[in-house]
Amino acid sequence: MYEQLRDFHSFTGSDRTIRDYVSKRKKELKESMTEAALPLESILGTAQVDFGTAPFKYDLETIDLPYLVMSFPHSNSFYFQVFLSKNTECLLEGLQRMFQHMGRVPKTIRFDNLSPAVNKIFSKGERELTDTFERFVLLL
């Protein structure tokens, strides 16, 4: 950093000046970040659902496959299903399997703007759900 300031910006100070400034600024930023942090709230019975991708071994080969995960932040547990795609059919099939395995449906499920479930996002967090997902929810 010192060399770039010296060479490109005609900085005439010392290397020590830069080191002291960076150290001081890091401490200030760290202090301000801890003051602004909010504790995470985990509510019992609340789940979060999202798709991800991870490497899996298949026939001695490693391939990236999508998976659907339902996590429970309160207990730090989760269920997941591996699929060949991140589409509506995989979302609904995965949710159905998870609900059957658990023997119940969580009270609240948060979806992170999954395109298989959400058509459009409006201001103030309102969402237009896909017809297929709405019909699925009505069956629960």
One-character DSSP codes across the chain = -HHHHHHHH---S-HHHHHHHHHHHHHHHHHHHHHH-------TTEEEEEEEEEEEEETTEEEEEEEEEEEETTTTEEEEEE-S--SHHHHHHHHHHHHHHHTS--SEEEE---TTTEEEE-GGG-EEEPHHHHHHHHH-
Higher pLDDT, 114 or 83: 83
pLDDT digit string (tens) for 14-66? Answer: 989 989 998 998 888 887 776 566 667 788 889 999 999 999 988 899 999 99
pLDDT digit string (tens) for 99-124? Answer: 999 999 998 998 877 889 888 888 88
Domain 46-139, second-level architecture: 2-Layer Sandwich (3.30)
pTM passes above 0.75 = no
Domain ranges for the chain: 2-36, 46-139
